[in-house]
Amino acid sequence: MPSHSPHQANTDASSTAEGALSEDVFADDSWNPGRRFWLRLRRELSGEGADRFTPVRLASHLALVGVVVGLLLLSKTQLPEWRIEKPDILSAPPPTATPVSLSQLVVARGGAAAPSSSAGSLMRMAVPFTTIPERPRLDVETYVVQPGDTVFGIAKKFNLQPETLMWSNRNLELNPDLLRVGDELTILPVDGVYHKVEKGDTISALAKKYKVKPAAIIGFEWNKLEDANQPLQPGTYLIIPGGKKPFIPRTVSIYRGPIPKNAKRGTGAFVWPVSGTITQQYWNGHRALDIGSWMGNPVVAADSGYVVFAGWDKSGYGNLIVIDHGNGYRTYYAHLSRIFVRRGESVGKGQRIGSVGSSGNSTGPHLHFEIRFRNVQRNPFGFLR
């Protein structure tokens, strides 16, 4: 039989008594949950009821204590109360109610009332920026030529073709180069011809002349015509919408004698006759190039040939030189200040024949240059190298 010492017996008795006390404590329902939890925790920490006490087990219990304490603290924290206000939505008026005006809606939103001309009506708010569509012109206007103006530039300004500008101004039609500052030009509202009625003119005859239908002339409001049989008053003007005039080239009296024996023949490849800038291009009313330059700048033959005209031309060219290149081509050099060749003289390509000027119907120093093939004016841009 094993023997027990008195000290061991006392220890066992004490443990038994404490265990009995713990059991009695936990069995008592009068203790609150916190007290029971603390006793159980103390028991666990002291190693009662466990086979072995380890640091890992201690750490797990401490973590559990931390979680419990955190939950207790959070349970006592009062969170702020969040309030989300509902938007103030205006309810639609019943079908039988009086229509709500825009000013009433503005007032309901807390804004200033918009002026209303009549109560109970929905009005549009004023828009500060308004796009006004471009309206077509309906009347004939007068334009005063400004410095730097060209026929092309003025026509573009009024959305017209340059031919319309020429056909509505007699002086410009005779010489498109003659455009001076201060000149007054007639500007039509549409493309076409501005015709001055002469004795014997009829609507059908004018329609045939300008290649349009009589209805186009009668239907244009500005003409104030009622039918094709209405008599026309001489001296008045009519606008022929879409009308066209045939181009009539200016002619000069050129040399028609025998070709000089030593006359040079052209190559068909043309060089620029002068240095400068293009001030007016080739178009239906101006079948040439205007090359702006300074007074006295040398002018050379664009190709080899012989001179058939050299002198003053009264049709508007002023001092003019015409060279026949012997292959169907002729070149014209107009508005010169000086002429250095004579009629019948042979010249070579690039040889100086004159100087830039502003003679004849000219608005400033430039060279009016033409290339004609069998007397038909061609665009020089297609031939110059």
- For each successive 10 residues of the chain (385 residues), what is the average pLDDT? 47 46 48 66 60 67 81 67 61 55 50 49 60 70 89 90 90 77 92 93 93 93 89 93 84 73 87 92 87 94 94 90 94 95 91 94 90 92 88
Q: How many CA atoms, within 13 angstroms, populate the side-chain half-sphere of residue 46?
A: 12
Cα–Cα distance for residue pair 252/312, rounded to 1 Å: 10
Are β-strands 305-313 and 346-347 bridged in parallel, bridged antiparallel, or unpaired?
antiparallel
Q: Are 120 and 99 in contact (CB under 8 A)?
A: yes
Are β-strands 298-300 and 329-339 bridged in parallel, bridged antiparallel, or unpaired?
unpaired
Cα–Cα distance for residue pair 379/385, rounded to 1 Å: 13
3-state SS of 41-107?
Answer: HHHHHHCCCCCCCCHHHHHHHHHHHHHHHHHHHHHCCCCCCCCCCCCCCCCCCCCCCCCCCHHHHHH
pLDDT of residue 91: 61
Cβ-Cβ contacts under 8 Å for 161 (sequence gap 6 or more): 155, 191
Token pair listed for 356: 């830039």
* 365 φ, ψ (degrees, to nearest 5): -65, 120
Burial 54-76 (b: 16+ CB within 10 A, else e): eeeeeeeeeeeeeeeeeeeeeee
The length of the chain is 385
Q: Are 380 and 269 in contact (CB under 8 A)?
A: no
Cα–Cα distance for residue pair 318/255, rounded to 1 Å: 17
Q: Are 274 and 299 in contact (CB under 8 A)?
A: yes
* List of domains in the chain: 141-241 (3.10.350.10), 277-382 (2.70.70.10)
Nearest alpha-carbon partner for 145 in 178, 175, 172, 185: 185
Token pair listed for 222: 């500005």
pLDDT of residue 14: 46
pLDDT of residue 18: 46
Cβ-Cβ contacts under 8 Å for 137 (sequence gap 6 or more): 158, 189
Q: How many other C-beta atoms are found inside a 10 Å radius of the C-beta of residue 254?
A: 14
Cβ-Cβ contacts under 8 Å for 56 (sequence gap 6 or more): none
Token pair listed for 291: 């090359």
Question: End-to-end alpha-carbon separation of the chain, Å?
Answer: 140
pLDDT of residue 34: 67
pLDDT of residue 110: 53
pLDDT of residue 32: 62
DSSP per-residue string spanning 192-213: EEEEE--TT--HHHHHHHTT--
Cα–Cα distance for residue pair 167/77, rounded to 1 Å: 96
Token pair listed for 135: 């309206």
Cα–Cα distance for residue pair 73/111, rounded to 1 Å: 49
- pTM score, whole prediction: 0.49
